[in-house]
Amino acid sequence: MLRWVRQQLGFDPPHQSDTRTIYIANRFPQHGHYVPQKFADNRIISSKYTVWNFVPKNLFEQFRRVANFYFLIIFLVQLMIDTPTSPITSGLPLFFVITVTAIKQGYEDWLRHKADNEVNGAPVYVVRSGGLVKTRSKNIRVGDIVRVAKDETFPVDLVLLSSDRVDGSCHVTTASLDGETNLKTHVAVPETAVLQSVANLDKLVAVIECQQPEADLYRFVGRITVSQQTEEIVRPLGPESLLLRGARLKNTKEIFGVAVYTGMETKMALNYKSKSQKRSAVEKSMNSFLIIYLIILLFEAILSTILKYAWQAEEKWDEPWYNGKTEHERNSSKILRFISDFLAFLVLYNFIIPISLYVTVEMQKFLGSFFIGWDLDLYHKETNQRAQVNTSDLNEELGQVEYVFTDKTGTLTENEMQFRECSINGIKYQEINGKLTPEGFSEDSPDGNRHSLMREEELFLKAVCLCHTVQINADQTDGADGPWHANGIASPLEYYASSPDEKALVEAASRVGVVFTGTSGDSMEVKSLGKPERYKLLHVLEFDPNRRRMSVIVESPSGEKLLFTKGAESSILPRSKSGEIDKTRIHVDEFALKGLRTLCIAYRRFTPEEYQEIGKRLHEARTALQQREERLADVFNFIERDLELLGATGVEDKLQEKVQETIEALRLAGIKVWVLTGDKHETAVSVSLSCGHFHRTMNILELVQHKSDSTCAEQLRQLAKRIKEDHVIQHGLVVDGTSLSLALREHEKLFMEVCKNCSAVLCCRMAPLQKAKVVRLLKTSPEKPITLAIGDGANDVSMIQEAHVGIGIMGKEGRQAVRNSDYAIARFKFLSKLLFVHGHFYYIRIATLVQYFFYKNVCFITPQFLYQFFCLFSQQTLYDSVYLTLYNICFTSLPVLIYSLFEQHVHPHVLQSKPVLYRDISKNAHLGFKPFLYWTILGFFHAFVFFYGSYLLMGEDTSLLGNGQMFGNWTFGTLVFTVMVITVTMKMALETHFWTWINHFVTWGSIVFYFIFSLFYGGIIWPFLHTQDMYFVFVQLLSSGSAWFAIILIVVACLFIDVLKKVLYRHLQPTSTEKAQLTEAGSGINCLDSMCCFSDGETACTSVRRMLERLMGRCSPTRVNRSWSSSDPFYANDRSILTLSTMDSPTC
């Protein structure tokens, strides 16, 4: 019970030690006082709430928001003191907002619970009591032996005990964990590999000691002690023995494994990353505006309270004859009365803070994010992948990007490798028609058509075929003589590899005569010019980013022990003592200048004594439980030395489609592009030139190969001086990882100054954390620019998470980047539409939404403030309580929400073909202080017109009602409210450029709904209402002709100034966007003198209407034939489904 309570409260019992001891099949020692360790059960919990904590936890989270907490305080004040308005006026909107948000979050969490229950209830087979028992996934315990069949997913993290193969190996794919679709081989230790039946496994007595759970998918340190008769055998366990939850068994009939990590302690669960909350610039502006409006509210409340007491200083106004004070009021404290009055005014004016703003913004972001996934222009047909939104909180940030940081491999390039050239023993070779041909020879020349390989060439190709982690499709390896078609012709082998480079090299070797035909047990089989050879695989020294190389130790058919190593030239050449080192170095640089990815290959022969020493050291390092990685690194360095260089390879990585056009478009939009890559200097520069990141005319500056602070600082000063002198020329900067570390350590300011004056920056030889450091450096600079990072691999995750907006490419380097990103797209070229169209629209929509909300609430509350001057500051409300409650919830909420979802002030094609329009919205241009001031002043102006217009036209005449009755305060307040609802709705209509039937329905429908509601509310006596001040008020108001005249006159007076301002600004100071609206016809819309088309039967007013609509930049989509020429840049046929209405019109 206690454990259940702790789980519900989210407490995890702390682990007592750094390692865990697991008794296989839970056979605990019988002797001594053994206390078994406690482990988590196998339930996966991705949900946020439980039935018990949903209400308190959700309420706590919602009331952490300033606006919600503020309205809660106002509601409590209304309950505690006598206030002019009912507590319902604050309580109902607050309840509505809280309820809507709670329902949304509750529904999302219910879906998570549903998914969890499906996973936790999946059937599994466990070995218990000498047989296979079917149970549910959530019932698996640490120590249970689990059976998994082919194509099933592993339900826990298992240590492999045995498989249906004699060598105890199995193949798995980890696509759901890291996106890598290649087959990975996992092996069991020899002592358990032979136990292939349930009966044998039930007799196994063994103990596993391993590290406590950690998130790293590729790290596992442990050892297994197997008791056999009188002896105990200890074997090391590493990542090759661990089968991860979420991975899938392939090409193997069944395996047995022991559960070591369960439930929320599995590596998959530990990688459920709770991302740090990113806040958009719009959200920050919104909070600033709230504070300003809070200050306005306090000022109005304090001023009203002071004026009330100033007015009441006169005896006749302090206690008029018609409103005498009670004895209690006369004797109460003046300070308490002042506070009470201040709070009453605070309640009266509190609607100036828009409570429904947050819920509307949340709905707009959530619903608006679907447009990205639905956009067919962001769909990649070849891979059947569409754009993905992982967080909708940053939609508008896509319209504010100033810096783009991009990876190279797999982001700008395809990550599809093709073998191009190689260097063997100092001679360059090319592959021509499946043959290795030395440079300078053609296929027809005497030496270009050889059928045999020289010794050096054969050894080089064998090294390529043996030093890798490539797998072959299991269906092709069955059979003694290799893969054959039914007609007797050999079929090409299908290779799987985690690295595209390795796959390209092994395929190239097979084409020229040295074929890797697969593995059998601990042997690797190679066919050299048709002659099969078998090499015994002794050890694999795995690749790691620090060493930048991998090695294998094999025993040749002749019994020789050989080490084959391949890796970056910076890690191989310094460790080579013989071979054509200088010539190979030159060739590597030449390959890099052509934009090829380079690898160097070397080997070493061991004497029996050397091999014995190596085997001993490797065993000690691999069985260590503490500091295993450091010990292994030392041993690997000891082994990989005194190498003999064989040669180098050059593999081409193709550029993705339209990369050059996309980078040029980003530059035109005022966005600076930085390329951050781990590739070597020459390769990176070559690719930068080919993709248009660097121009041929650009002055390329270099900050590379610096070893000391002083030389780095001197070079930076020289570069800064050179930029100042050549200020007319465009500059590009190349920095490498080591120089960058020095520059960031002591000379950060100088380095940033140089970078900001360069139009393109390339950082090569970058470690993943260095990428994040560069992004953070720019993000936190004094200008605080909005940054975007885009990448496709696990090494890009840190910079993707660091940037304001992180975008993952659905590439071939796994899905970690996609999982940790805010948005995911299939190709780099889609970035242009994501920013220039979606980003532009999202920003314009939400900027207008936020400012319109503040505007309409100023319009709402200012007449209430002005009314106090006419009612002796008695806190009499101008509007009925129902109107106060429903103004933001019903009467004015839908038009702005629909606008914020569908508005397109310029056609998507124009935005994409004219990237310069992106500059109009940069640096939060539409949510700056000037636009905010304009909307606020406009709100106050309209409010004054509503109040004083109604007062001048109707207030002095008391007998203008149709039945001769007097014109009372409720009628006056209703007149002001009616004018206000119509005006703020019409103001939204003026801001709308893109009209759909939904816009028409909600805009005119809101006004109609207000009239119908008021007629019913005031026309019927409702039995559940305590008082009904509005009975027949609205009907009487509408029966007055002068009231109708006043409504029309005041609405026109309010909006005329706004229309005039728009017309004058469009003529005198048009922005690039407004020019694009006026000239959109020239971009492909078939209209003559207007951006709108009209039918033949036009009225006499049509020319005026046409001019006004052109000036307002508005067009009805039903009247436009948007036909784009095939020569238009980027997307010739815009297939965006953002348009809701028909696009074709026969009248154009």
Known catalytic residues are 407
952 by Cβ neighbours in 10 Å (0-12 / 13-18 / 19+) ranks as exposed
CA–CA gap between residue 180 and residue 176 (Å, rounded): 8
Which structure tokens are listed for 630?
């450091």
Which structure tokens are listed for 42?
């196998």
Query: DSSP letters along 1100-1133, please?
Result: TTHHHHHHHHHHHT-B-GGG--B---TTSSS-SS
Cα end-to-end span (Å), the chain:
75
H, E, C per residue of 384-414: CECCEECCCCCHHHHHCCCEEEECCCCCCEE
331: enclosing H helix or E strand: helix 327-331
Q: Hey, what amino acid is at 518? A: G
Which structure tokens are listed for 608?
């029996």
Using the Cα atoms of residue 1101, residue 1107, residue 1113 and residue 1116 in order, give the sign of their dihedral: positive
Which structure tokens are listed for 785?
């620019």
Strand partners, 824: 388, 808
For 206, list phi and psi in degrees, rounded to 5: -155, 155
DSSP state of 239: G
Q: Where are the strands (E) in 54-144, listed by range?
A: 123-128, 131-136
Using the Cα atoms of residue 274, residue 239, residue 124 and residue 252 in order, give the sign of their dihedral: positive
Other beta carbons less than 10 A from residue 990's beta carbon: 13
CB 556 within 8 A of CB 547: no
Closest listed residue to residue 994, CA positions, set 1080, 907, 1081: 907
Closest listed residue to residue 66, CA positions, set 224, 227, 287: 287
Which structure tokens are listed for 230?
């009188």
- The CA-atom distances, in angstroms, between 204 and each of 27, 187, 198, 230, 243 are 9, 18, 10, 14, 20
Closest listed residue to residue 281, CA positions, set 921, 1118, 999: 921
Closest listed residue to residue 507, CA positions, set 632, 418, 613, 428: 418
Which structure tokens are listed for 301?
């409340």
SS3 assignment, position 836: helix
CA–CA gap between residue 420 and residue 598 (Å, rounded): 11
For β-strands 672-676 and 760-764, DSSP reports them as parallel
CA–CA gap between residue 927 and residue 948 (Å, rounded): 30
- The CA-atom distances, in angstroms, between 821 and each of 105, 367, 415 are 21, 19, 20
- The CA-atom distances, in angstroms, between 173 and each of 159, 182, 478, 724, 814 are 16, 6, 20, 55, 11
SS3 assignment, position 555: strand
For β-strands 427-432 and 413-424, DSSP reports them as antiparallel
SS3 assignment, position 541: strand
CA–CA gap between residue 901 and residue 708 (Å, rounded): 55
SS3 assignment, position 370: helix
DSSP state of 733: E
SS3 assignment, position 438: strand
CA–CA gap between residue 1078 and residue 1089 (Å, rounded): 10
DSSP state of 241: G
SS3 assignment, position 956: coil
